[in-house]
Amino acid sequence: MSTPVSSIRNLGPAVESALARAGVPDAETLREIGAHEAYGRMLKAGTKPHFIGYYVMHMALQGRPWNDCRGREKEELRARFDALCAEVSGNGRPLSGIEKVLDEIGVRPRAGPRG
């Protein structure tokens, strides 16, 4: 029997739906592949990149409150997030300047073809 993703603290129905579209059907699969891989799959499936969603998933899989991510840990996750976004978008470069600010507040347009 599979467990819903939304059974994991801080991951609700919207994340569950986005993960299902990305081929991550349940909490067991999410735990197996980890937050970084799962978020990459979500991006490839068309989810708009948003750093908060990325680190919330990391914290959730560790059983920690979503706002527990701070300091060096948050900086390291930010670097991994930027690299993942660059990899998925195909441009191979991390965001900088206005792109980074727009991404942080969740308004940067998604790269790639639109459906």
**Domain membership flag for residue 110:** no
Local confidence band at 98 (pLDDT 50, 70, 90 cut-offs): low
**Percentage of residues of the chain with pLDDT beyond 90:** 73
**Domain membership flag for residue 63:** yes
Total number of domains constituting the chain: 1
**3-state DSSP call for residue 99?**
helix
**Domain membership flag for residue 112:** no
In the predicted model, is pLDDT for residue 109 greater than 60?
no
**Domain membership flag for residue 34:** yes
Q: What is the largest CA-CA distance in the chain?
A: 46
Residue 42, domain extent? 7-104
pLDDT of residue 112: 47
In the predicted model, is pLDDT for residue 104 greater than 70?
no
CA quadruple 84, 87, 89, 91: dihedral sign? positive
pLDDT of residue 33: 97
Contacts of 54 (CB under 8 A, 6+ apart): 35, 39, 77, 81, 84
Tens-place pLDDT, residues 61-70: 999 999 999 9
**Domain membership flag for residue 111:** no
Global confidence as pTM: 0.77
